[in-house]
């Protein structure tokens, strides 16, 4: 999904950021005053240098626009989740129906980037919660997973960021997050393992303390 600027909530984003900092799961960042246009220009300049260092001919028709193309992709397509002004609008609403069973969203697409190698992390997430005072539209769970995927990431931190963002928004610890993903840095270099995927999870509240609930959640995660 592309970033939809009309469906963002910067104010909520900045409160979620504070909550992530408090829980020590925020991405290490150093704030700067660069606009998106400034960032794109800076990345274009530096990526041209990378291509030149590799010995590529930047006057070739096929390569000439690559620095600009990569810069735009970084800022507006794959790393827009670094900017809390882009945080999705997802106000929790009062749980008027008093629904108190597990709500699960399965197979949420995760397309992220490894912060160690800047190559693709491709997988899916399953997110569950038990509504207390508040409920959230299901598509909002997808939006939150997408937001934190659009950053240079490590999978463990991505999993925790989704958990703590939902903890803040829903006001409950009864949340479970599992991410199962293939790291293309593992696939294409290093050990060159073509079949392995990495599973990370964060279970809170009753998902942690109630073995039956945990088992029910894991059976949904593992159902194909």
Q: For binding to Zn ion (CB under 5 A), which residues are involved?
A: 114, 116-117, 185
Nearest-approach distance from CB 131 to Zn ion, in angstroms: 36
Q: What is the set of active-site residues?
A: 114-117, 155, 183, 185
Nearest-approach distance from CB 167 to Zn ion, in angstroms: 27
Nearest-approach distance from CB 122 to Zn ion, in angstroms: 12
| Cβ-Cβ contacts under 8 Å for 35 (sequence gap 6 or more) | none
Of 114 and 176, which CB lies nearer to Zn ion in the complex structure? 114
Nearest-approach distance from CB 129 to Zn ion, in angstroms: 30
Of 5 and 194, which CB lies nearer to Zn ion in the complex structure? 194
DSSP string of the chain, one letter each residue? ----GGGB-HHHHHHHHHHHHHTT-S---------HHHHHHHHHHHHHHHHHHTT--TTSTTTTTHHHHHHHHIIIIISGGG-GGGPBP---EE-TT---S-EEEEEEEEEEEETTT--EEEEEEEEEE--SSEE--HHHHHHHHHHHHSSEE-HHHHHHHHHHHHHHHHT-S-EEEEEEEEEHHHHHSTT--SS--EEEEEE-THHHH-HHHHHHHHHHHH--
Of 9 and 115, which CB lies nearer to Zn ion in the complex structure? 115
Of 70 and 114, which CB lies nearer to Zn ion in the complex structure? 114
Of 117 and 214, which CB lies nearer to Zn ion in the complex structure? 117
Question: Which among 103, 94, 197 has a CA at the least distance from the CA of 142?
Answer: 103
Nearest-approach distance from CB 186 to Zn ion, in angstroms: 7
The Cα 135–Cα 94 span in angstroms is 6
Residue at shortest CB range from Zn ion:
185
């Amino acid at each position: 999904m592309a970033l939809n600027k009309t469906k963002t909530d910067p104010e909520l984003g900045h409160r979620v950021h504070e909550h992530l900092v408090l829980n020590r799961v925020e991405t290490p960042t150093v704030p700067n005053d660069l606009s998106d246009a400034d960032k794109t220009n800076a990345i274009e300049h530096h990526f041209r240098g990378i291509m030149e260092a590799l010995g590529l001919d930047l006057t070739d028709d096929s390569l000439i626009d690559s620095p600009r193309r990569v810069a735009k992709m970084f800022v507006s397509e794959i790393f827009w989740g670094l900017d809390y002004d882009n945080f999705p609008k997802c106000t929790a609403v009062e749980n008027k129906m008093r629904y108190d069973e597990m709500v699960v969203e399965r197979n949420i697409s995760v397309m992220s980037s490894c912060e160690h190698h800047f190559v693709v992390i491709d997988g899916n997430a399953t997110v569950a919660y038990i509504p207390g005072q508040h409920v959230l539209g299901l598509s909002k769970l997808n939006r939150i997973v997408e937001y934190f995927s659009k950053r240079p990431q490590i999978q463990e931190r991505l999993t925790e960021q989704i958990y703590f963002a939902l903890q803040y928004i829903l006001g409950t610890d009864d949340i479970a997050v599992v991410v199962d993903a293939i790291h293309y840095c593992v696939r294409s270099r290093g050990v060159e393992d073509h079949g392995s995927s990495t599973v990370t999870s964060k279970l809170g509240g009753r998902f942690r303390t109630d073995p039956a609930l945990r088992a029910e959640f894991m059976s949904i995660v593992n159902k194909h």
